[in-house]
Amino acid sequence: MTARTRADLAAAERIVVKVGSSSISGEAAWRIPVIVGGLAEAHARGAEVVLVSSGAIASGIPFLDLDARPTDLATQQAAAAVGQNVLVYRYQQALQPHGIVAGQVLLTTGDLEGQTSRSNARRALDRLLGLRVLPIVNENDTVATQEIRFGDNDRLAALVAQLIGADALVLLSDVDCLYTKPPSDPSAQPIDVIRIGDDTSGVEFGASVVNGVGTGGAATKASAARLAAASGIGALVTKAELVSRALAGEEIGTWFEPASTAPPANA
């Protein structure tokens, strides 16, 4: 059932959830069991859930004795190769008490551009979901280069939601919702709903940022949510710790209302 409102998330049958590096890496790793708990609740009611998770590079940095996020491509790729294994292991450990098995799916832009590879990716995800596995999707940072990257995993999550015909997209952040200005600004106001066609030219979502562990920001989430909404998939932006409440359909976060008619999906 396509989620037309936040309340519909409680009955959505296929959901894509995205979480960024800053929400789960380093001292924030405690959120992994919290996020998994919310996903497990949706899984238990019969929903099919796909998790798009950043964090491979950030998870690999400590194992390579690096003091900060590497700036050269080769070291980033090496950190991703080490960190992806660590990241999925942490998720599987958190999923184990819930009796859920994780499946790793790494994608590049080419996987979603060509008709054959796109169909292969969709078939693999469909089968994993049919087997009640929780796919954990990430960009294949070990082989991706700047020229062939998705740009950020918020966009990847929106594209995956389109690929599998998801009923809803939930983008998890470090803040409870989107604001008219950076949350640190005293004049910032929370944004409840953004509808198709709404003029947000005067809204300062905040620029995309590159911090110590990852890339992203409110602007990238708004862009990805708009992409999903334009294709008929409702999207919610909210705080990572609130994922359980979000998937239960509570009135939290910023809701991007989906278009009434979606353009035909690519084969």
**How far, in Å, CA of 177 to CA of 225, rounded?**
12
SS3 call for 109: helix
Q: Which residue has the tokens 């999707």?
A: 137
Whether the CB-CB separation of 15 and 164 falls below 8 Å is answered with no
- Residue 221 is assigned to a ligand binding site: no
CB 139, CB 149: distance < 8 Å: yes
Count the Cβ atoms, other than its own, within 10 Å of residue 264: 7
The response to whether 18 counts as a known ligand-binding position is: yes
Is 54 marked as a binding-site residue? Answer: yes
| Nearest partner of 42 among 234, 242, 246, judged by Cα | 246
Q: How far apart are CA 182 and CA 204, in angstroms?
A: 7
Cα 59 to the center of its chain, rounded Å: 17
Cα 160 to chain center, whole Å?
A: 9
Q: In this structure, are residues 246 and 7 in contact, taking their beta carbons and an 8 Å threshold?
A: no
Give percent helix, percent strand, percent coil of the chain, each to the nearest 5. 45, 20, 35
Q: Which of 247, 180, 212, 217 is nearest to 44 (CA)?
A: 247
Query: Using CA atoms, how far apart are residues 57 and 63, in angstroms rounded to an integer?
Result: 10
The whole-angstrom separation of Cα 168 and Cα 17 is 9
d(CA 223, CA 220): 5
Annotated binding-site positions for ATP: 18, 173-174
Binding residues for substrate: 54, 141, 153
Pick out the residues of the known binding site.
18, 54, 141, 153, 173-174
